[in-house]
Amino acid sequence: MASQRKFVVGGNWKMNGNKSSIDGIISFLNGGQLDENTEVIVAPPAAYLDYVRSNVNASVAVAAQNCYKVASGAFTGEISASMIKDIGADWVILGHSERRHVFGETDELIGEKVKFALSQGLKVIACIGEKLEEREAGQTNDVVFRQTKAIADNIGAEDWSRVVIAYEPVWAIGTGKTATPDQAQAVHKDLRDWITQNVSADIAQNVRIQYGGSVNAKNCVELAAKPDIDGFLVGGASLKPDFVTIVNARKA
């Protein structure tokens, strides 16, 4: 049941911030009363990963927003899993819808990135989610199952404990249009059933599935009450003190 899975809330800062605004975020994170039963992860832009890791409390984990599928080399503009580890961060977000739809990342590439990041000892937030036209065409499950399969095929049984799935319907990201708690719960439940059938019942029971897409301080409590919603991946609201309220959604 949901209660056995530790609630996990990530803040995806995307391409936002500077040292001064990041100092503000660090101060509300370090000064806020964050629920000890919630795992908290923040994902600053790559340029600030080291700064954030050095300044935010140790209880807050740090994630990169992306990394490449090989160890090092002539890949201008990319960062590697070992660099993320080297500065003391533990997590990486992979397959975010902006990586898929703005930068053209394919299911195949995302699968390769997940596999390599896990092999290097990182923990992974792997993102999936349908576009509006796919939902309207009744293809939501087809899309999220296809995306999940491309990820799951690259995760060894022993590595699933280092993976969180983030279900983020593309039409809800940055739009102020949240999936209703029932809409989100339905997809999370279907996903967990898919994992039961295609990976294992044990992994399905234990893997955490975050919801993402316009989560805010007002809608988080109702979403957090759903049995298959094990946390959030938060964009816009993660830049504001509201993020502390969202982290504490299960406590409210």
CB nearer ligand PGA, residue 199 or residue 236:
236
- Region for 14 from its dihedrals, namely left if φ exceeds 0, alpha if ψ lies in -120 to 50, beta otherwise: left
Q: Which of 168, 228, 230, 242 binds ligand PGA (CB under 6 A)?
A: 168
Residue closer to ligand PGA, measured from CB, 185 or 214: 214
Q: Which of 214, 219, 245, 248 binds ligand PGA (CB under 6 A)?
A: 214
Give the position of tokens 């070992």. Answer: 82
State the minimum distance, in angstroms, from the CB of residue 43 to ligand PGA: 9
Residue nearest to ligand PGA according to CB distances in the complex: 235
For residue 17, give the amino acid letter. G
Considering only 52, 128, 209, 215, the residue that binds ligand PGA (CB under 6 A) is: 215
CB 231 within 8 A of CB 164: yes
Which of residues 199 and 249 has its CB atom nearest to ligand PGA in the complex?
Answer: 249
Smallest gap, in angstroms, from Cβ of residue 142 to ligand PGA?
22
Within residues 20-49, the interface with ligand PGA by CB under 6 A covers: none
For residues 111 and 212, which CB has a smaller minimum distance to ligand PGA in the complex?
212
Q: Is 147 in the site for ligand PGA (CB under 6 A)?
A: no
Q: Which of 8, 12, 69, 125 binds ligand PGA (CB under 6 A)?
A: 12
**Residues annotated catalytic, as ranges:** 96, 168
If one asks whether residue 169 binds ligand PGA (CB under 6 A), the answer comes out as: no
Binding residues for ligand PGA restricted to 228-247, rule: CB under 6 A = 233-237
Q: How far is the CB of 213 from ligand PGA (least distance, A)?
A: 5
Min CB(93)–ligand PGA separation in Å: 8
Residue among 140 and 214 whose Cβ is closer to ligand PGA: 214
CB of 54 to ligand PGA, least distance (A): 24
Which H, E and C letters describe the chain, residue by residue?
Answer: CHHHCCEEEEEECCCCCCHHHHHHHHHHHHHCCCCCCEEEEEECCHHHHHHHHHHCCCCEEEEECCCCCCCCCCCCCCCCHHHHHHCCCCEEEECCHHHHHCCCCCHHHHHHHHHHHHHCCCEEEEEECCCHHHHHCCCHHHHHHHHHHHHHCCCCHHHHHHEEEEECCHHHCCCCCCCCHHHHHHHHHHHHHHHHHHCCHHHHHHCEEEEECCCCCCCHHHHHCCCCCCEEEECHHHHCCHHHHHHCCCCC
8 A C-beta contact, residue 187 and residue 144? yes
**Footprint on this chain of ligand PGA (rule: CB under 6 A):** 12, 168, 173-174, 212-215, 233-237
